[in-house]
Structure 1
């Protein structure tokens, strides 16, 4: 049976593009995830999903970033939960995390540096605002 593309199906893809996974959209429509990806590409949804700078600017003002910076104090013990954003874990709806424990070693206007056991790692305040990094 041939998949019939209608305005309602295209609107469903557009409305759920950033919310649902492609294979879940495909299951609801009764087509393949490849076809959903192709429909998204034709509607320029693929570009909008990968533009994290636009998403971050919509949800985080500079005032919020500065408020986040005030939450950290030098020498503070901290435990962070970081969402994977590279490789196979880039998919929206991914719940893969890693944990970092350490002490706040330095802070600047835009990031905080955490001293781990044998290394240092820096985190942008905007990542805390967006939810990519959480304080536990």
Structure 2
């Protein structure tokens, strides 16, 4: 289960996967992914790849790693940590500033293929925006 979770997170890490062909060794062709980071849910590996293939310009040296997980035969619930450094793009903090936050994913795994067939993700993206220098305003 930990290997599957870490392979899933490698998709979102700098240099973690070389392309869609490698992603196909981690997720099923009919993957359903619900992750507000990349817009509405995606259906199928092609839509998933299209949503994630262009990395964010705000950070580089991104790593995502499992910090805790529990699992059943075909599901994995995991907490992950995102670590990166800022690039200066769309940010008010100095270039090279380390940023990190955590999130949770729930993965459904096909027991025959060991590929992720369904993924739901929730990260602390508001905290991430704050660490990039975003500020709240009073209403």
Q: TM-score, normalised by structure 1?
A: 0.25
Q: Highest CA radius of gyration, 1 or 2? A: 1
TM-score, L = length of structure 2 = 0.25
More strand by share: 2
